[in-house]
Structure 1
Amino acid sequence: MEIVKTKIPDLYILKPKVFEDERGYFFESYNKETFLKLGIDQNFVQDNESKSMKGVLRGLHFQKPPFTQGKLVRVMHGAVLDVAVDLRKKSPTYGQWASVILTHQNKWMYWVPPGFAHGFITLEDNTVFFYKCTNVYNKASEGSIRWNDPDLNIDWQLKEDPILSEKDKNAPFFREFDSPF
């Protein structure tokens, strides 16, 4: 597996070695030893999956302590532009974001550590998005930041208005946010 560091410490793109032949393909999507070599000692306790039509934007979401989640995300079908925002107050990259295009063709994964907001926009119809979480979901601990926050200035590479939930349309702006991380 190739590990690619992003401009934000602790946020990684993981490119698995894919074995393909006339029957199909095989790849290792998670290996605890690989994560330990990166200094990531996390246990995954919950798997989530969503299916969305093209143009759906989900995020920017996070879980507050004590239910903070790290996420290992990937696309099983379709494609997304995946975004992570550093919410760790003491981080030199606080308030900065990084993105990657994940597809079922490239089979890349994104490690989004605890203390980050996460979101994605689907680039194809019937996109199936999968992620492993290091903590269980807790409704009382959920938080979000406005996807189009002018201070964050995320380049979502939009060609038209995204399809949003009411929660995401009305999420607070970054300047109103007091980070618990």
Structure 2
Amino acid sequence: MTFIHTRISGCLEIVPVCFQDERGRFVKTYNEKTFESHGCCTDWKEEFYSVSRRGVLRGLHFQLPPHQHDKLVYCTAGTVLDAVVDLRKGSPTYGDHIMLELSAEKGNMLYIPRGLAHGFYVTSESATMMYKVSSVYAPDHDAGIRWDSAGIAWPASTPIISTKDGLLPPLIDFSSPFSFDDCAKRQ
């Protein structure tokens, strides 16, 4: 696996080795010692996936303290444009975002530390996204910011979003409970 640092501290693109032959592909998505050696979470509490069609935008989501979590995301079918926004007060990149294409073909993953909002836009006919998270889903701490409030150049101005995502507050109105120093200590 290759771990590539993004300009947002702690957020990493991970490119696994993909083995391919006449039968298909084999991809190792996780190895505890390798993740540990790069300062990444190795204590995953839940894993789930979503299936979405072209034009769907999910996000920008996170969980509030004390149920915040680190997240590992990757695409097992299709292609998405994945985005994260730094919400950690005191971070040199607070309010900034990165965007990265994740695809089943490439097999690349994104490691998202606590204190970052996450979302993605489906560019293929459909896409299946896998998520590993370091805390259990806590509905009362489920939160997000509006998809169109962080300066992200999404491919569509009117994506397909959920009613819930349409009601999220804009970044400018969000009072972040995340601290860069506190989040960095936990990595």
Q: TM-score range, shorter-chain basis?
A: over 0.9
Of the candidates 142, 166, 169, which is equivalent to residue 166 of structure 2?
A: 169
Equivalent residue number for residue 144 of structure 2: 144
Q: Cα offset for 1:22?
A: 1.2
2:8 equivalent to 1:39: no
Look up the equivalent residue of 1:69 and give its one-letter code: H
Equivalent residue number for residue 62 of structure 1: 62
Equivalent residue number for residue 6 of structure 1: 6
Separation in structure 1 between the aligned mates of residue 132 and residue 104 of structure 2, nearest angstrom: 16
Return 5+ residue gaps in structure 1 as ranges: none
Look up the equivalent residue of 1:8 and give its one-letter code: I
When the two structures are aligned, how many residues end up with a matched partner?
178
- RMSD of aligned alpha carbons: 1.1
Equivalent residue number for residue 130 of structure 1: 130
8 Å Cα contact 2:41/2:134 also seen in 1: no
2:76 equivalent to 1:76: yes
Q: Cα offset for 1:113?
A: 0.8
Equivalent residue number for residue 151 of structure 2: 153
Separation in structure 1 between the aligned mates of residue 36 and residue 58 of structure 2, nearest angstrom: 29
Of the candidates 151, 163, 176, which is equivalent to residue 179 of structure 1?
A: 176
* TM-score using structure 2 length: 0.92
Name the SS for the 2:9 alignment partner.
coil
Separation in structure 2 between the aligned mates of residue 127 and residue 41 of structure 1, nearest angstrom: 25
Q: How does 1:13-52 map to 2 (within 5 A)?
A: 13-52=13-52
8 Å Cα contact 2:49/2:130 also seen in 1: yes
Equivalent residue number for residue 97 of structure 2: 97
Deviations 1:130-157 (A, max 9, x none): 11011011010011101001xx211113
Look up the equivalent residue of 1:29 and give its one-letter code: T
Deviations 1:115-143 (A, max 9, x none): 11000011122311111011011010011
Separation in structure 1 between the aligned mates of residue 30 and residue 125 of structure 2, nearest angstrom: 26
8 Å Cα contact 2:74/2:130 also seen in 1: yes
Separation in structure 2 between the aligned mates of residue 114 and residue 20 of structure 1, nearest angstrom: 33
* Structure 1 moving runs of 4+ over 4 Å: none
* TM-score using structure 1 length: 0.95
Name the SS for the 1:44 alignment partner.
coil
Name the SS for the 1:167 alignment partner.
helix
Separation in structure 1 between the aligned mates of residue 119 and residue 41 of structure 2, nearest angstrom: 23
Look up the equivalent residue of 2:58 and give its one-letter code: R
Separation in structure 2 between the aligned mates of residue 36 and residue 49 of structure 1, nearest angstrom: 24
Separation in structure 2 between the aligned mates of residue 128 and residue 113 of structure 1, nearest angstrom: 21
